[in-house]
Structure 1
Amino acid sequence: MKLDVRIHGRGGQGVVTAAELLSVAAFEQGLHAQALPSFGSERTGAPVTASCRISDLPIRSHDPISQPDLLVVQDLTLLRDPVVMAGLPEDGTVVVNTNRDLADLVHGGLVVGPAQRWVTIPANDLSRQLLGRPVPNTALVGAVAGMTDLLSPEAVATAIRRRFAGLGEEIAEANVRLAEQARDLVMTTTAGGDVRC
């Protein structure tokens, strides 16, 4: 078993933190994992990429993920950049932070492979409700857990509590609830099968 996740977002959205949370949650379950940040210009709003490898075997590769099994897109506008979709296989999975549904995105010109699984989730909206500001990373970590059924809710919650412990229990628990809500939403959305167009 292995899962290669590549996360695309903008500075300030917690892209690197999302990769770290996925890897720590994997460690909590006894899996091998690594988080790999990749920075360009390090400023708020600039495109940022991070990756996470998860495996039940030791991980020998330390290079950036060029062919992800799963893409997380934290900012919908990044889908205009062909680099974001580069390397995604025909049967790859994509989780997109947006309150628009997939049919609306396809009508707007998004090209979706016939065997790809796509899920849209309003991570910014959920984050505003629970945190008071649009920081989508923990919601999208919960969504990845729901899409893959690889990481348990308990492992994700432990990773979040550990990461946000210094910010206070209230903030940590709000982020745990955010991840749980997103996970439940994704699992409900995909219960009838793959989300495709």
Structure 2
Amino acid sequence: MAQMLEIRWHGRGGQGSKTASILLGKVCSEAGKYIQAFPEYGPERMGAPVIAYNRISDERITVHCQIETPDLVVVLDSTLIGAIDVVEGLKEDGKIIINTDLEPEKMKEKIGFNGELYTIDANKISEEELGRAFPNTPLLGAVVKVTSLFTEDEFVKLIRKEFEKKFAHKPEVIDGNINCIRRAFQEVKSE
């Protein structure tokens, strides 16, 4: 990685944007990268808009503030589009990943974005693999695929360790989350 990768996550309270940013940070740290992973939110309530951030670099990170010009924006809830300017500050060559069942071309039209846009039906994947809509895990897989931070197998090996710590008492959840990530690598779409 030649430069710092900055990611901004948009979601609603309870969808896991903060958890996803922290998990990505832990995995990248485990792989020897410098990281920052932090949320920004007002009153903590279920369903309220939440923003989380990641900075990932091979070199020490000396900046400590919100990310205003991200390289990548991840949208966990497409109903935020229109309510929030999710592409605000996105770098000219930036990318966006949206959790939706719509094709990338339709989302580009909907938000008036001409850059690199990816879609993935993260809700459907997580409902099928975990029995409930947890879009953050499939979106983690999509982020890694789109950014090429790791190969699929490298990421699965690293994230499995984190899931084993987090879900030690629920091994079936570990496998479900791994399946979500593997499916995301296959199902994330670009135009």
TM-score by length of 2: 0.90
> Which residue of 2 is the match for residue 77 of structure 1?
79
Asked if 2 retains the 8 angstrom alpha-carbon contact of 1:161 and 1:173, the reply is no
Match of 1:91 in 2: 93
Following the alignment from structure 1 to structure 2, what is the Cα–Cα distance between the partners of residues 161 and 10? 26
Describe the SS at the equivalent of 1:68.
coil
Match of 2:58 in 1: 56
Whether the aligned pair in 1 keeps the contact of 2:108 and 2:117 (CA below 8 Å) is: no
> Structure 1 residues 73, 167: closer, same or farther in 2, change over 3 A?
farther
RMSD: 1.6
Counterpart in 1 of 2:160? 157
Q: CA deviation at 1:82?
A: 4.3
1:167 is displaced (CA, Å) by 4.8
1:166, 1:158 → 2: CA distance? 10
Q: Could you say what secondary structure the match of 1:174 adopts?
A: helix
The equivalent residue for 2:113 is 112
What does residue 140 of structure 1 align with? 139
Residues in 2 aligned to 1:165 and 1:44: alpha-carbon distance in whole angstroms: 22
- Give the gaps of 5 or more residues in structure 1: 190-194
Q: 1:106, CA displacement in angstroms?
A: 3.7
Instruction: Report percent identity of matched pairs.
Output: 38
The match for 1:32 is 34
In the TM superposition, what is the alpha-carbon distance from 1:158 to its structure 2 partner? 2.8
Contact 1:96 1:121 in 2 (8 A): yes
TM-score by length of 1: 0.87
> Conserved in 1, the CA contact under 8 Å of 2:39 and 2:52?
yes
Total equivalences in the alignment: 185
Deviation per CA, 1:157-178, whole angstroms, max 9, x where unpaired?
333333x224521112211211
Counterparts of 1:82 and 1:11, CA distance in 2: 15
Give the C-alpha shift of residue 89 in structure 1. Answer: 1.3
Rate the CA distance shift 1:88–1:48 in 2: closer, same or farther, 3 A.
Answer: same
Query: What does residue 178 of structure 2 align with?
Result: 176
